[in-house]
Each structure stands twice: as C-alpha cells, then as structure tokens.
Amino acid sequence: MLSDRTVRNLSDAFLRAAHATLVRQAGDQCAIAPASAAWAESKCGGGILLMTISSFTFRLITMFQVADGEPTRHYYTAGAAGKTLDETFSEFANMCCGALGRELYAQFPHIGMSIPYLLEWQCARHLRDLNPRMLSSYDITIQGTARVKATLAVCCERPLEFDPPVREAAQAGGELELL
Amino acid sequence: MDTDTSVADGQAGLSGKAAALAAEVAELKSLAEAFERWHQDMIGLTGCNRSLHGKGEDLMAVARGLIMVSLNAAIEAARAGEAARGFVVVAAEVRSLAVQAQKLAAELRDGLHKSNLLTAATFQDIQAGGKMMMAAVSGLGASVSRLTR
C-alpha cells in the first residue's frame, strides 16, 4: 500500500515540519529520535493533541503529547500568560501540520486540515484501530529539556505514492538531524 | 447576418449556462454550514462520552467499595465461626460480583477512550475533507467567473 520510498518521504516531510515549527525561535536546538509506538502511547503529559490532514484517498493523523514537566511548560508557555500548556502547544502543532500540509500540497492540490482537538492520553493506544498503513513515533527534545512525543499515522485504502520535489535546503544541508 | 445571429445566440446560451453554474457554485458554498454543524455534533458526542467516563469512574469506585465491604464481611463471618458459615459464602459471592463489576468498568473506560479517538478522528476527517471541498468549490467558482467575464 505504501512503498518504502513513500514511507521515508512522508517521515522526512513530517520531521522537516516538526524541526521548523515546534521550536519557539529559529536556531533553537531540536533533536528528534525515532521511538516505539508503545512508548508513544504511554503517559508523559496531560492529554494528546490530534490533528488530521485529509485528501480524497488518504488521511494523515498526527498526534502530539507534550511532557508535563516544568522545562517543557516553561519553554512553550513563557510569554503566554493565562494559557495552559496544551493550549499554547496546540498553536505549534497547528503550524507543524500546516507545514506538512504545504509539502503535501505540492503533489496533492486537494487537501484540507482539521483544527487541533485534545483527547485523554489513554486514547493514544487506539490509534492502531484506525488501521494505519504507516505509524511512526518520535521523541522530540528541544533545547535539551523540553520534550514532545509526536506520532504520524497514514491511513489509505489505495496505494499512495509521495515524491515531493527535491528541496534545495535539504540538498545543501544534507540529512535531517536524527539523533 | 444569420451567422452573426447564431453566434450571438450561442454566446447568450453559454452566458446563461455559466450564470447557472455560478449559482450552483454559490449554493455549494453553503456546505460550510453543514461542516460546522457536524463539528458541533462532534463536540456534543465527545461531551456525552465525557459524561459516561464520569459514570464509569463512579461505577469503578462502587465496585472497589463493594470489594472492601465483602472482605470485611468475610473477616467478620470468620470471627463469628460456625454460625456464620452461610454468610462467608454470601460475602465471597458479593466479592466475586464486585470484581466482575470492576473489570466491566475498566473495559467500559477503555471502550470510551477508543470511542473518543474514533469519534475525533472521524470528525476531523470530515472537517479537513470539508475544507478540501470548500477550496475545490472556490477554485471552481473562480473558473466560472472567468467564463462569465
């Protein structure tokens, strides 16, 4: 259903989006490591933030969980008085999915994006009930202290090929930082 | 002269069709209201699930309480000796029922989490699909307006 190349391209597009948007300032260090689905389903914060990008024949579901510790809270909520960590982070998740959507748009002009929705963390383990053809989870650490769990699930009933145009930045800068 | 008339008739016919198409496109933009209604429905459904979660937690607390009561009853019955032998059996039955209720409450909680995720994912798909369709309709509308110019 999904070729290895498509899986790699979708992962890369998601990681580029995460790298570019989950930091408060360009230049903040962002380390991303692949993680197991079981790890992604465990509790580390208040809830999970769900967002969907849909096209006619496929949908991408992204799931984020921000760690409930002080370093993560401080990183994302500094300067956002009166907002909870989940509220503040939903804006970052929105930007991340927007960036991923733009990458997809180059090949799939008919796509749309949902708004974020917060669910209890225990819902995460049921993501596989949606029968995703691809399920990738990542442990994201920003500035060495703020932690985010991110998962990308791809659901489709028809073969999907994703070959984004080659990016100049990727060519110049080489591989994405994967620690 | 006949040719001019037929060209003019043809243009008028095309303009009429383009205007009808433009009206259809404008009508299709009302889809946005349906998508908003479905979004509100999702909020209602997940609110209902949340309420069921609360009831499930209450059920879990009742089951836990029953287990404690049945344990204490068994201790008291054992203390009472031979005379309370029948009561020991009753206490054991109550405990067994309470353990079953606790298991059911846990399954209910898990089922509600699954329901929450499936509901949210489905409605997000509808919402994202709706935005995709609205963009397509807008694109169609732009093409139609170029035709009518």
DSSP chain A: -B-HHHHHHHHHHHHHHHHHHSSSSTT--EEEEEE-HHHHHS--SSEEEEEEEE-SSEEEEEEEEE--SHHHHHHHHTT-TT--HHHHHHHHHHHHHHHHHHHHHTT-S--EE---EEEEGGGGGGGGGG--SEEEEEEEEETTTEEEEEEEEEEESS-B---PPPPHHHHHH-S--B-
A179 domain residue, yes or no: no
Closest CA relative to residue B125, chosen from B42, B13, B48, B68 = B42
Q: Which residue of A has its CA nearest to B120?
A: A117
With contact defined as beta carbons under 8 Å apart, do A33 and A178 qualify?
yes
Mutate to test the interface with A, among B38, B132, B133, B140 (most CBs of A within 10 A): B132
pLDDT of res. A175? 41
- Whether residues A53 and B128 touch (CB distance < 8 A) is answered with yes
- The residues of A whose Cβ lies within 8 A of any Cβ of B are 50-56, 59, 61, 110-115, 117, 119-120, 122-127, 129-130
A167 within domain boundaries: no
* pLDDT tens by residue, A46-90: 899 999 999 999 999 999 999 988 999 999 998 778 888 988 999
Task: Note whether residue A26 is domain-resident.
Answer: yes
pLDDT tens readout for residues B69-118: 988 988 888 888 888 888 888 888 988 998 999 999 999 999 999 999 99
Chain A residues whose beta carbon lies within 8 Å of the beta carbon of residue B53: 120
The reply to whether A107 falls in a domain is: yes
Whether B51 contacts B58, CB under 8 Å: no
- Asked if residue A152 belongs to a domain, the reply is yes
pLDDT per residue over A151-163, tens digit each?
999 999 999 999 9
Neighbours of A17 (CB within 10 A): 22
CB contact under 8 A, A112 and B113: no
Domain of residue A109: give its range: 4-157
Closest partner residue to A129 (CB to CB) among B118, B133, B136 is: B118
pLDDT at A177: 37
Please tell me whether residue B1 adopts helix, strand or coil conformation: coil
Task: Quote the number of domains for chain A.
Answer: 1
Pair of tokens at residue A13: 């597009």
Cβ of B113 within 8 Å of Cβ of A123? The answer is: yes
pLDDT score, position A173: 39
The rounded distance, in Å, linking the Cα atoms of B149 and B128 is: 32
- Interface probe for B, chosen from A104, A111, A118, A119 (most Cβ of B below 10 Å), is A119
Residue pair A150/A138 in contact by the 8 Å Cβ criterion: yes
The answer to the question of residue A10 being in a domain is: yes
**Predicted confidence (pLDDT) per residue in B127-148, tens digit:** 899 889 888 888 888 888 887 7
Q: Note whether residue A178 is domain-resident.
A: no
Is the Cβ pair A55, B132 closer than 8 Å? Answer: yes
CATH number at residue A80: 3.40.1550.10
Report the mean per-residue pLDDT for chain A: 89
Q: Do B113 and A122 touch (CB under 8 A)?
A: yes
Q: Is the pLDDT of residue A171 over 60?
A: no
Q: What are the chain A neighbours of B111 within 8 Å (beta carbons)?
A: none
Cβ-based contacts under 8 A for chains A and B: 74
Which residue out of A100, A123, A135, A151 would a mutagenesis test of the B interface target, given it has the greatest number of B Cβ atoms within 10 Å?
Answer: A123
- With respect to residue A165, please indicate whether it lies within any of the assigned structural domains: no
Map out the domains of chain B with their CATH numbers: 15-148 (1.10.287.950)
